[in-house]
Structure 1
Amino acid sequence: MEQGSTRGRTTGRPAPTAYGDPAPARVPEQTARGEHTHSEPPAPGLGEPRAVRRHSVRGQILQALRTALVGGELVPGEVYSAPALGERFGVSATPVREAMQQLATEGAVEVVPNRGFRVTERTPRELAELAEVRALIEVPVMLRLARTVPAERWAELRPLAEATGAAAARGDRAHYAETDRAFHRAVLALAGNEQLLAVADDLHRRSQWPLVSAPALRHGELVADAAEHTALLDALIAQDLAVVSSLVREHFTGAQH
């Protein structure tokens, strides 16, 4: 069975979680809080609502784990067990394990058999490669959109750009990551290509997991990074293709968030 958060050899005592609480060596799923009835046969007519509730719990845990990753609460290189995290969130290990499997497909964690999930140790080279791929995809799309999208459509995106600025001003890196993705997704959505959105969003999310060897952006850097969204909108409205291209590339390679 998976053990608590650990790095290196394990001991007989439960290891502390990333949140500072003792992690139990094992949390039986049939007695864990939140989802202990999932193994019961569904009552007549209640199968679909039960499935919706389970999906909702998994989605909430996934969001909480993503926030913890971006905020640095889950440390690169450390191993975390689903039962220990489930105890922290007040649910069984099942939705935590399902959320962690999703994070594994996104490259944020990797499965450690019989122990749990290790947070990926992202290297500077990997982030640079992600930035390069993002630029190869998004720059041509934004240049095409700059030629065809009317100014009023770009103006409608200004509240999203302002939301990134507000999150940066508060120093809220986790919320900044969400608003940053929302802004880029809204821009690319104007291309009308769902496959493009899916690929770009996956690359964006992968680039947000923190480096093991580098500190998070300082407050001033985060604010400057957010300001690039407003500057990009101004360039798109003006159809200044050279500035659009330069801003997007700098946005990807400068902060590498």
Structure 2
Amino acid sequence: MDQAGPRARQAPAASAPDAARPATAYRVPAQPGVTDVDRERGLTTGAARGEHTHSETPIPLPRSGGTGEEAGSEVPRPPGRPVVQRASVRGQILDALRAALAAGELTPGEVYSAPALGEQFGVSATPVREAMQQLAIEGAVEVVPNRGFRVVRRGARELAELAEVRALLQVPVILRLARTLPADSWAELRPLAEETARAASAGCRATYGEADRAFHRGMLSLAGNEQLVQIADDLHRRSQLPLTTGPAGTRIELMADAAEHIALLDALAAGDLEAVECLMGNHFGGTV
């Protein structure tokens, strides 16, 4: 159903929109004695805040133009070094890290240092560290003092608990909307459901995760409760992180999940409350 590693010296895969671009993995040399400021000034002495860059393995990154983290603070890089665009650097890195997590390219239990990832992106450690701190708030990683950030280990029980909470939030709301909204109100969600089908057919979990959340946000937004939408979306994002053990959702499983979106809209348009309740229960019970 709703879905969402290398060891530590590389940066994560780029976000879903960049998936079609050529990707190259780069190994980052260990620099245990270089601070963020020293690195940006081109120096090679000092303490690196205790964040080590050893034992990191490559994660593919897209090649893109642009340099630097902020206006007036360009970061020198060798020719061919993959970097993110200057605008919205932190947001781009956050998107890339989320995509890597959803795709299982960041290994649960492994520690990743901000300086090493920053070198892969061609920026300082600061925006990477800020992105990782946001992921810590979302429950995807945890802070390891003087080392970096560890990808959280998740089991089937946690996934089941998240699915149960999501069902408790969403099923009553959707059933209420099914009783009160005109049947044609659901037609506007059809493009979002069709997008999940296309994403599932491509087989990319990161791309599917974005489309899947967009569909569910669209459904809940009809209730007019922004707090509900935000809380449900946060739970949804956490439920898409891969399990510590076991295979990730297959392309067939993603396509089956997307097909439930279409079937749910058909039942809602038909005013079939019994079918709606059954489909919603199956949907949350079969999280991929």
Q: Which runs of 5+ in 1 are unaligned?
A: 7-14, 40-52
Determine helix, strand or coil for the equivalent of 1:25.
coil
Contact residue 5 and residue 17 of structure 1 kept, 8 A: no
Higher relative CO (Cα under 8 Å, sequence separation at least 6) belongs to: 2
Question: Quick check: 1:18–1:75 contact (8 Å CA) kept in 2?
Answer: no
Q: Which position in structure 2 is the counterpart of 1:168?
A: 200
Alignment of 1:138-149 (within 5 A): 138-149=170-181
Moved more, 195-204 or 21-30: 21-30
Unaligned runs of 5+ in 2: 1-5, 14-24, 41-66, 74-84
2:253 maps to a residue whose letter is E
Once residues 227 and 18 of structure 1 are traced to their aligned partners in structure 2, the CA distance between those partners, rounded to angstroms, is 30
Which residue identity lines up with residue 35 of structure 1 in the other structure? E
Q: Using a 3 Å threshold, how does the CA distance of structure 1 residues 55 and 124 change in structure 2: closer, same or farther?
A: farther
Corresponding residue number in structure 2 for 1:44: none
TM-score, normalising length: structure 2: 0.75
Aligned to 1:211, what secondary structure does the other structure show? Answer: coil
Structure 1 contact 111–117 (Cα < 8 Å) conserved: yes
Matched, 1:34 2:68: yes
Counterpart pick for 2:132 among 92, 100, 106: 100
Tell me, in whole angstroms, the C-alpha distance in 2 between the residues paired with 1:237 and 1:16: 48
Identity over aligned residues, as a percent?
A: 66
Letter in 1 for 2:69: E
User: In the TM superposition, what is the alpha-carbon distance from 1:37 to its structure 2 partner?
Assistant: 5.9
- Superposed CA RMSD in Å reads 2.3
- How far did residue 61 of structure 1 move? 0.6
Tell me the residue number matched to 2:252. Answer: 220
Tell me how far apart the structure 2 counterparts of residues 56 and 89 of structure 1 sit (CA, whole Å). Answer: 13
Aligned-pair distance for 1:25?
A: 3.2
C-alpha displacement of 1:116: 0.6
Q: Is the 8 A contact 1:5 1:78 kept in 2?
A: yes
**Whole-Å Cα distance in 2 between the matches of residues 55 and 34 of structure 1?**
9
> Matched residues in 2 for 1:22 and 1:118: separation?
19
Cα 1:201–1:191 change in 2 (3 A) is same
How far does residue 21 in structure 1 lie from its aligned partner after superposition? 3.0
Q: How far apart in 1 are the matches of 2:271 and 2:29?
A: 58
Could you say what secondary structure the match of 1:157 adopts? Answer: helix
**Which whole-Å CA distance do the structure 2 matches of 1:83 and 1:172 have between them?**
28
Which amino acid is 2:27 matched to? P
2:143 partner SS:
strand
Task: Note closer, same or farther for the CA distance 1:226–1:246 as it changes in structure 2 (3 Å cut).
Answer: same
- Contact 1:228–1:247 (8 Å) recurs in 2: yes
Stretch of structure 1 that moved more, 235-244 or 59-68: 235-244
Residue 28 of structure 1 and its aligned partner are, at CA, apart by 4.2
In the alignment, the residues of structure 2 paired with residue 54 and residue 107 of structure 1 have an alpha-carbon distance, to the nearest angstrom, of 27
**Alignment counterpart, residue 106 of structure 2, candidates 48, 69, 74:** 74
Shift of 1:91: 1.4
C-alpha distance in structure 1 between counterparts of 2:70 and 2:269, whole Å: 54
Aligned length: 233
Instruction: Quote the offset at 1:16 in angstroms.
Output: 5.5
Partner of 2:165: 133
Higher helix share: 1
